[in-house]
Each structure stands twice: as structure tokens, then as C-alpha cells.
Structure 1
């Protein structure tokens, strides 16, 4: 294996471990609601219709919690 390939794999493993460590403090419900919350936050960026489009995802996250 070449050195860049080893570094690439090491970086990928470190990113996966970091993501996993960030999710550990979240409880089961919070981890399940995360996709709803991320989608809602992303939609709220859109001017005019963003908040209206994000409403179902906010309800989804609050229902899971």
C-alpha cells in the first residue's frame, strides 16, 4: 500500500469514530429524531416557504421525542 492510501483510510476511520463519538451522548430518541431535525433546519434556510415546508419535520421530531 502506498502512503496516501493509508492516510486516506486513517482519515476515513477517524471521521467515522468522531461521528460515532458525537452521537453517543444522544439518547435513542434523539438519535432517531436527528434526520427530522437536520431536514427541518436545512429547509428553514429557504426564504419565504422554508418555515412552512419545515413544519412537518418539526412535528416528526417532536413526536419522536
Structure 2
């Protein structure tokens, strides 16, 4: 059951590549990192780049 759910989720992500849903994990991680004082914005640059590549 869980394997089918995982396969369906992966298929949905591949079908939706290039949209905001696929970039959501990168954007959420970036937002969490940006909360860190002083170094947050600099440390979040790689995750921002990840989101821009997926969803320009």
C-alpha cells in the first residue's frame, strides 16, 4: 500500500515538473533557513537557486 502511494506521488511530481508544487520543498527549506539571524539569507542562497531551477 505504501509503495503504491509513493509511486503515485513520484509520478505526480514528475508530471508536474516545472511548477510551484515541485519547487515547494526548496522554497520551504529556504524560508526556514532565512529565519536564522545574521547568516540566514546567505545560507539560503543554494536552496533559493534550487527553487529557481525547478520553477523559473
Consecutive unaligned residues of structure 2, counting only runs of 5 or more, are 1-15
Displacement over 2 Å in runs of 4+: none
Larger Cα Rg: Structure 1 or Structure 2?
1
Q: Which of 30, 39, 47 does residue 57 from structure 1 map onto?
A: 47
Look up the SS of the partner of 2:44 in the other structure: helix
Tell me the TM-score normalized by structure 1.
Answer: 0.56
Q: Which has the higher contact order (CA 8 A, sep 6+)?
A: 2
Q: Which of 23, 27, 36 does residue 33 from structure 1 map onto?
A: 23
Question: Once the 2 structures are TM-superposed, how far is the Cα of residue 55 of structure 1 from its aligned partner?
Answer: 0.3
Question: Once the 2 structures are TM-superposed, how far is the Cα of residue 60 of structure 1 from its aligned partner?
Answer: 0.3
Take 1:49 and 1:58, find their aligned partners in 2: how far apart are those partners? 14
Cα RMSD of the aligned pairs, angstroms, is 0.7
Consecutive unaligned residues of structure 1, counting only runs of 5 or more, are 1-27
